[in-house]
Amino acid sequence: MLIGHRSLFRHLVILSLLLPALALAATAPVKSPNDDNQYRYLELENGLNVLLISDPDADKAAAAMNVSVGSGDDPDDRQGLAHFLEHMLFLGTEKYPEPGEYQQFIASHGGSHNAFTAFQDTNYFFDIQADELEPALDRFAQQFAAPLFTAELVDREKNAVNSEYSSKLKEDGRRFHSAEEAVMNPEHAMSRFAVGDLDTLADRPGDPIRDDLVQFWKSHYSSNLMSLVVLGKQSLDQLEAMVKPRFSAIENRQLAPHEHTAPIFKPGFLPSFLQVQSLKDVRRLELTFPLPSQQDEYADKPVGYIANLLGHEGQGSLLNVLKQAGLANSLAAGQGQDTGHESSLNISLSLTPQGVENWRNVIALTFDYIDRIRQDGIQETYFDELRQLSETGFRFQEKRSPIHTVSSLAMQMQRVKPADVLRAPWMMEDYTPAKYRAVLDRLTPDNVLISLMTPQALPKDAPRTEWYDTPYQVTDFDPAQLDDAPEALAAQLGLPERNPFIPEDFSMVPGQTMAHPIKLDAPGAPTVWYARDKHFGTPKANVYLSLRSPLTRDSAHGQVLTELLVDSIRDNLNAYAYPAQLAGLDYRVYSHLRGITLRVGGYNDKLHVLLRRIMTQVANGEIDPARFEINRKRMIDELRNQAKSKPVSQVMSEMQSALIEGAWPTGDKLAEAESVTLGELREFARDYLKEVDPVMLVHGNLTEAAAINLQRQANALLFDDSDIKSVPRSGVRKLPEGETDIGLQVDHPDTGYALYVQGDSTEFDERARFAVLAQIISSPFYESLRTHQQLGYIVQSSSFEMLEVPALGFMIQSPNSGADKLDQAVGEFLTNFEGKLADMSPAEVAREKQAVLSQLLAQDRQLGEVSERYWREIDRQAFDFDSRQKMAEAIRKVSLDDLTHTYREEIEPRLRSLKVTAGQQVTDDRAALDTLRSASFVY
């Protein structure tokens, strides 16, 4: 896998690129021919760089502020301070002093908000109903101009930061990164703890944390280090009039971004070998090669060129050879962190147990492949192909959600020239062989950190990381002791052939976009639904084919065999289909409660070629014995690892397996995976299509005749000898009256809590009442239990609808409160909230209903969003394709009396509820789960 042209994300702390502020160009940024938005760059008098985006059709507005300050700016004695500041800016300003006012305003107008702290950036963002952009911007700007840092809230919010840290203590991604930090140059800020906890953020004699927080804000936050992106339906002039007076109030302190000039690794440290002990059954090998900064190379992407070859997965590629040898499951290559002075190229592999035993052979083969690239990989034909694919991707670029658009562009503005801010990820301007060789010159055995993470125990006296208590061991790595790669494997290596899937025909089919799919009169199987769609102006289509089978649905044994069959199909397809993915054709083969679904999407020109190959593999694919055993062991690892997940994850997993028909418990699936045989899987594969309930959706830039042709191919390849049999949809079990209480004992210092309150029918009016109540309750629940009571970092109340069965869900993970205290807090909130609900004005109810409607009826921005909605409608047999409209009408009819009645009769008394708690001190009591699994279903 090639890791695009973006930085690698490492858990919550994102290591990002940063350039000094660039002079703004007079011209608007270059945009895709498929982009009808209007853009304008501004530089305010205070030095704040602004990008305005006018989209007259937008139903959602959004804004993001990126500040060129991050965890790398933390004082040595206040690690986590930048992250703590990110938390505090949400909690009250001079103009809007109430700590929950911003969140409540956003939520009550159908929006969302968040932020993250990276090494050199902090990024704040929100979206909201388009008409509410101006008051939202007023609140947003105040966070950067006049935050309060209220002393009481500073004291409370330390607990939230600590809870965030505590919730991730047993996540192997965090643990792995903590070991990397431990071996980095201590002179480099990247070696420090970025999250913060109660120790690093504690008040000290003569040094209260609030004083340090305010001082950090004053000495690091400045308008000339900020970039703002605002997207709305208003004209550019109107957007400018909203922005200028509000954001000009941010003080320009004339600061410069922090430069990190120390090397990430001490001179002489490399090459080294780092071993890390995981908690879960994880086997990860990573090669990190330091490079000079690549920030000035975004238009040519020499690292991207090399990573494309390293991460290729086609025939003869490094991954393909390793997979065939049973040594690896996946590989990703791409650029890592770039500090402006130093960068890296990273190769990350997921190994099999055999791969761990032979990790030296994996390393040797990797360097053999790098040598192959040195010898034959620098070719203009490869570059031309990459540039062609990039230009096609930019030409037919589809819109993303506004909130993701503004967040990514706000960071991008710090990195690239103004004219390039929209096209930078797709740019491949010049063929630069000297730059490619310069990158390859650094990919050597004497310039690498080799990191290996496995569950294998390290010596008892091995050092442990300070913050995540992770055992690790670092030793010198002698390249001279690296054995040659096995000759038989090295002989299989080869560079990519010409990509046969590059699209050539971009024409749009005749006819208008259809309002919804129609069922075609096509004899044979599968049933085919068809909708021509040219609304997005791209020559793309999506085809779904669901193979529903009673063999999957009826037992945990069938579910395990289905997942293993899917693994085998993917293995057989990977080398063939990877070039198709590079050429803009994505595919998925996945299992679900009723069987297997095949999905192919992207440019329609050669879509049928890939789909035919996938169907051929389903019908006639061989099951390799070695890969079967690898996949079976990987499934066992994944199932066992679920018992080591964070408490809220385990709580939700048990809850869903108890309630949803066919969602078999982890223990049942684990027992089946441990005993299943190759012979059983081969027999299952032969029998799978004997009884089947197939259905197909063809949607996008394809003709009706093309849809019928795809159906005929499916019929000939898959269903010629099949007995077409209905396989019913799963149901959700109806809870008995009262509260069902489940306890899970888990090995984690935090306590997990979830309360599920179920509605009594799947009718639209009941679903509408629960949806509006979820909207109204969400922000007050968070404000009470998270902001004021500080019960945990993970605190959430939301709609918990499953398979059209309405419900409310309340979820908490707490590092400092037990299950009883959490349940008491939830109960008190529910009791007290009844009066607040009854006191709502008609205008407030109307506002909250509109917020729900804006989410429900959100504008489709990509063809895939429409395809997914149609596919869900087909799954639930809603063949009028009007579920959204019916739900919207039911929401419009909801009254305050309806809401208070449902709340008093069902929610507050927990009329039909399931409570699941998990923790080290929780008594394990799962007996009630078996009773639930025999219950009838909600209709």
Q: Which residues contact 281 (CB under 8 A, 6 or more apart)?
A: 455, 637, 638, 640, 641
Q: Amino acid identity, residue 27?
A: T
715, two tokens:
């019929």
Q: Which two tokens stand for residue 674?
A: 């441990």
Give Cα 137 to chain centroid, integer Å: 27
End-to-end Cα separation, the chain, in angstroms: 44
How far apart CA 606 and CA 600 sit, in angstroms, is 11
Sequence-separated contacts (24+) of 823-831 with Cβ below 8 Å: 823/753, 823/755, 823/915, 823/917, 825/785, 825/789, 825/791, 826/753, 826/755, 826/785, 829/780, 829/781, 829/784, 829/785, 830/907, 830/908, 830/910, 831/908
Best CA proximity match to 701, nearest among 510, 546, 866, 545: 510
Rounded CA gap, 582 and 602, in Å?
Answer: 11
Using an 8 Å Cβ cutoff, are 258 and 122 in contact? no
* Cis peptide bond N-terminal to 526, omega within 30: yes
Q: Report which secondary-structure segment, H or E, holds 433.
A: helix 433-440
Strands 342-351 and 284-292: antiparallel
Q: Which phi and psi (to 5°) does residue 120 adopt?
A: -125, 10
Residue 353 corresponds to which amino acid? P
Burial of 499 (0-12, 13-18, 19+ CB in 10 A): middle
Q: Two tokens at 826?
A: 């939830």
Angle at 772 between CA 771 and CA 777, to 5 degrees: 100
86 catalytic residue (yes or no) = yes
Q: How many Å apart are CA 166 and CA 85, to the nearest integer? A: 18
3-class SS at 420? helix
Q: How far apart are CA 76 and CA 221, in angstroms?
A: 18
Here the tokens at position 360 are: 């030296």
Closest of 847, 846, 770 to residue 110, by C-alpha:
847
CA distances from 683 to 115, 202, 573, 588, 627 (A): 51, 62, 21, 24, 17
Per DSSP, the chain holds a count of helices (H) and strands (E) of 30, 26
- Taking the CB of residue 510, how many other CB atoms lie within 10 A of it? 8
Q: Which helix (H) or strand (E) holds 694?
A: strand 691-700
Torsional sign, CA 199, 205, 209, 212 = negative
CA-CA distances (angstroms) from residue 618 to 148, 239, 357, 434, 551? 61, 53, 33, 45, 15
Q: Which of 86, 180, 286, 672 is catalytic?
A: 86
Backbone angles phi, psi at 588, to 5 degrees: -140, 140
Query: If you search the block for the tokens 């008594």, which residue do you land on?
Result: 923
Q: Which of 288, 467, 461 is nearest to 366 (CA)?
A: 288
To 10 degrees, what angle do helices 209-220 and 151-167 make?
A: 90
Packed helices 842-856 and 883-893: angle between N→C axes, nearest 10 degrees: 170
* DSSP codes of every residue in 764-820: HHHHHHHHHHHHHHHHHHHIIIIIIS---SEEEEEE--BTTB-EEEEEEEESS--HH
Catalytic residues: 86
